[in-house]
Chain A
Amino acid sequence: MRAVIAEDSLLLRIGVVKVLEAAGFEMCAQVADAEGLLAAVEEHRPDIAVVDVRMPPGFTDEGVRAALVIRRQYPRTAVLLLSQYVEERYAADLLAAHTSGVGYLLKERVADVEEFAEAVRRVAAGGTALDPQVVAQLLIRRHSDPLDRLTPREREVLELMAGGRSNSGVATELVISESAVAKHINSIFTKLDLPKADADHRRVLAVLRFLGIATA
C-alpha cells in the first residue's frame, strides 16, 4: 500500500516513516504542511495519508481541514489524523462527514509500532481507528443517554467497535468468544433502537450514536 505523511515535527515524521516502511508501506511523499499534503495527494493518489492535526502556518486545525478536502476530492485515499492531545471536535468533524477510511490517534501511539501499523492498515483498507482517549472523552460529553441502558460489558464492546475493531478483534481484546461478541452486539442494536438493516450499516449507526454524533 502507498502512503504520504504530513507532519511538521521532523523527528516524529522520520519515526512514522520508519514504522510504515517496516510494515510494508511504500512512502510516496513526506511533507510538512497542508498545502504540500494536498499537492502530494493530487500527484500520488496514495491509499492513505497520515496527517498531523496542527501544522504550519497557523498551528490550529490545518490537518483536519486538509483531511476533509482529501476525503471529499479523493475518496480512495483514506486519512489518519495524528494529534498531540485529544480534540474530540476534530474527530467528530471527520466522522460526521465520513464513516469509513478515517482515523484519529494520539501521536504517542506511534510508539506501539505494531498496533499503529495495524491501525494504519485498517484505515487504508476503508476501516476506522479511533484513539481510546477520544472514545472515552466523547463518552463523557454525551448528555442524554439511551446508552445508560447498556450493561458495562456491552459498553466495552461498543467502545471497541467505535475504535474500529472487527468482531474477532473485540473478542481477542475482551478475551471472550466471537459468538459472545455477536450476542452483545445484537443486544446493543436492540437497546439503541437501531432499524433492522444490513449489519455493517447498523454497526456504523451504533458507533455514531455512541459517539453522540448521529441523532437518528
Chain B
Amino acid sequence: MACGFTVWPMQLMTWPQLVLGRPLRRAGHRTALVAAGLPLHLAVVPLWLWLLGAMAALTHAPGAAAVTPLPVLLTLVVTPLLTVGQRRRYRALVGKDLPRPAAPGPGGNWKTAVRRLTGRALWRQVCYHAVAGPLLAVLDLAVLAVWAAALVAASIYVWIWALPPQWRVTDLGYSTQAAYLTAGGLALLFLGPRLTGALVRLETRAAEVLLGPSRTEKLARRVADLAESRAGVLDAADAERRRIERDLHDGAQQHLVSLAVNLGLARATLGDLPADARKVIDEAHRQAKEAIAELNNLVRGLHPAVLEDRGLDAALSGVAARLPIPVRVAVDLPQRPSPTVEAVAYFVVSEALTNVVKHAQATRADVTVERIGETLLVVVADDGAGGADLDAAGGTGLAGLAKRVASVDGTLSCRSPAGGPTVITVELPCAP
C-alpha cells in the first residue's frame, strides 16, 4: 500500500512488525472477541440446568411444577440484557454494529410488552442465547484451547530452559520430541488465526441472523427504502423538467418571439423590397413562427407550466384543444393530487390522445379523470378502429405509458377489440 511506504521512516517499523503486525493485531482482536463471548454464551446454561433439574424432579414430586416456569421467565428477563452485551462485544472488539430488528411499534408499556412477547424478535434472541450460544461456547473453548496448545508447544524450548531440572518431563529428547512439538506448535500458530477467523465469521453470522432483523423485516425495510429513493428520483426528475421548462420559457422562447416580431415588422413595413428579399423575409418569419410552435410543443412535453400552475383540468383541456378531433375532457377532482401523480396522469392522457389521433382513425375521444377513494382513475376512450396492443413488439407508445404508470405503482389496462372502441384505463394511487 502506498501509505505504508510514506509512513515508513516516521514509524521506524522493523520488517517483522510490518509483515506480522496487522495480522497479529487482527488475530488478537478476534481471539479477544471469542474469549469475551464465552461468559455471555454460557450465561443461560445454569438456567437450562435448573429447568432440566426441575423437570426431572416433577416425576417424583409434582409440587415442583410451581418452580418450572421460573427459569423460563428468568431467561426472558435476561435475554434483552444479554443481547445488549453481545452488541457491545461486537462493537468494542470488531467495530461492527449488528443490525437491529424493527421496533415493536408505538403504544403504552403494556402494549409494547405484549408485542415484544408475541413478536418473533424476542424468541429468535432466546434461541440465540439458549441454543446457539452454548454450541458456540463449545467452539470458542476449542479455539482457545488450540491457541493455548499452540503457544505452549511452539515455545517448548523456553519451557525446557526456564523450568528447574527436577520439574522437567524426564525423557524429553531435546532434538526429537521437542522439535516435533515446536513444529506442531508453529503449525497450530499458523492455523490459529484461520480457525479464529472462521469462528468469528460463524459467530457474526449467527448473531446477525438471530439478533438482527429477520429476512421479512429486512425485505420490508429494503422495500421501504427503495420506495423512498424511487419517489425521490421521480421528484427530482420532475423538478428538473420544470426547471428546463422555465429556462426555455424565460430564454429561448422570448428571443424567438422577439425575432418573429422583428421579421413580421420587416415584412409589414418594408414595402419597397425586391421580390426576392421579401420572399426570404417571409420564409424567415414563417420559420421563426414554426420554431416557436415547436418549442411550445417541446415545453408542453417536458412539464407544461399550466400543469404546475392550474392543475390537470386546465392542462388537459389545453391538450385536447390542440387535437384535430373533438375531445371531451371531464376532470372531477376535489383537490389536487401530488405533482408527481399529476405529471404522470398528464403524460398518459396526452400520449394516449396523440396515439388516438395517429393510429385509431377515431372521430372523437373522451377523457375522464376522477378520484375514487385513494385512487386517481383516468379513462381515455375513443371510437376508432381498435386493435391497440399493450404488448406490441417495439411499441414504445402504450408499453412506455405502462412503465411510466408503474413508476408510481399505478396500473394501466387497455381494452381494444378489433373494430373498436378503445378504452385505456389507468389507476394511480394517491394519498388522501
Closest CB of chain A to B224's CB: distance in Å? 37
Q: Complex formed: what's the CA distance from A86 to B328 in Å?
A: 17
Across the interface, B264 reaches (CB within 8 A) one of A9, A19, A136, A143, namely: A19
Q: Complex formed: what's the CA distance from A137 to B323 in Å?
A: 10
Contacts of B330 in A (CB 8 A): 143
One of B22-30, B126-134, B313-321 at the interface: B313-321
Question: Contact between A112 and B254 (Cβ–Cβ < 8 Å)?
Answer: no
Indicate whether B380 reaches chain A with its CB closer than 8 angstroms. Answer: no
- Among residues 108 to 156 in chain A, which have CB atoms less than 8 Å away from a CB atom of chain B? 108, 110-114, 133, 136-137, 139-141, 143
Contacts of A136 in B (CB 8 A): 321-322
Question: Contact between B320 and A140 (Cβ–Cβ < 8 Å)?
Answer: yes
Question: Contact between A140 and B322 (Cβ–Cβ < 8 Å)?
Answer: no
One of B180-188, B203-211, B303-311 at the interface: B303-311
Contacts of B41 in A (CB 8 A): none
**Do A89 and B314 form a contact, CB below 8 Å, given A15-B262, A84-B305, A137-B321?**
yes
Question: Contact between B257 and A86 (Cβ–Cβ < 8 Å)?
Answer: no
Closest to A137 in B: B321
Contacts of A133 in B (CB 8 A): 318, 321-322
Indicate the size class of the contact surface on chain A: 20 to 34
Q: Complex formed: what's the CA distance from A137 to B264 in Å?
A: 27
Indicate whether A172 reaches chain B with its CB closer than 8 angstroms. Answer: no
**Do A110 and B257 form a contact, CB below 8 Å, given A15-B262, A18-B262?**
yes
Question: Contact between B321 and A12 (Cβ–Cβ < 8 Å)?
Answer: no
Question: Contact between A18 and B265 (Cβ–Cβ < 8 Å)?
Answer: yes
Contacts of A140 in B (CB 8 A): 317, 320-321, 326-329
The prevalent SS among residues of B at the interface is helix
Q: Once A and B bind, how many residue pairs between them come within 8 Å at the CB atom?
A: 93
Closest to A83 in B: B306
Question: Contact between B314 and A88 (Cβ–Cβ < 8 Å)?
Answer: yes
Contacts of A113 in B (CB 8 A): 261, 264-265, 267-268
Indicate whether B36 reaches chain A with its CB closer than 8 angstroms. Answer: no
Question: Contact between A15 and B257 (Cβ–Cβ < 8 Å)?
Answer: yes
Indicate whether A85 reaches chain B with its CB closer than 8 angstroms. Answer: yes
Contacts of B292 in A (CB 8 A): 108, 111
Q: Complex formed: what's the CA distance from A137 to B305 in Å?
A: 17
Closest to B261 in A: A15
Indicate whether A190 reaches chain B with its CB closer than 8 angstroms. Answer: no
Contacts of B269 in A (CB 8 A): 22
Q: Complex formed: what's the CA distance from A136 to B309 in Å?
A: 20
Closest CB of chain B to A28's CB: distance in Å? 20
Closest CB of chain B to A12's CB: distance in Å? 6
- Among residues 266 to 298 in chain B, which have CB atoms less than 8 Å away from a CB atom of chain A? 267-269, 285, 288-289, 292-293, 296
**Do A107 and B321 form a contact, CB below 8 Å, given A84-B305, A89-B314?**
no
Q: Complex formed: what's the CA distance from A114 to B271 in Å?
A: 14
Question: Contact between A86 and B321 (Cβ–Cβ < 8 Å)?
Answer: yes
- Among residues 79 to 104 in chain A, which have CB atoms less than 8 Å away from a CB atom of chain B? 84-89
Indicate whether B413 reaches chain A with its CB closer than 8 angstroms. Answer: no
Question: Contact between B265 and A22 (Cβ–Cβ < 8 Å)?
Answer: yes
Indicate whether B258 reaches chain A with its CB closer than 8 angstroms. Answer: yes
Closest CB of chain B to A62's CB: distance in Å? 13
Question: Contact between A12 and B257 (Cβ–Cβ < 8 Å)?
Answer: yes
**Do A111 and B314 form a contact, CB below 8 Å, given A11-B257, A15-B258, A84-B305?**
no
Indicate whether A73 reaches chain B with its CB closer than 8 angstroms. Answer: no
**Do A141 and B285 form a contact, CB below 8 Å, given A9-B254, A108-B257, A110-B261?**
no
Q: Complex formed: what's the CA distance from A112 to B289 in Å?
A: 9
Question: Contact between A85 and B305 (Cβ–Cβ < 8 Å)?
Answer: yes
Q: Complex formed: what's the CA distance from A19 to B267 in Å?
A: 11
Contact with B along A12-44 (1 / 0, CB 8 A): 101110110010000000000000000000000
Indicate whether A168 reaches chain B with its CB closer than 8 angstroms. Answer: no
Would you mind naming 5 contact pairs between A and B with Cβ atoms under 8 Å apart?
A16-B261, A19-B265, A22-B269, A111-B289, A140-B329
Known: A12-B257, A22-B269. 5 other contacts (CB 8 A): A12-B258, A87-B310, A88-B314, A137-B320, A137-B321
Q: Which 8 A-B pairs have the closest CB atoms?
A: A111-B260, A15-B261, A113-B264, A137-B321, A136-B321, A11-B258, A11-B254, A85-B306
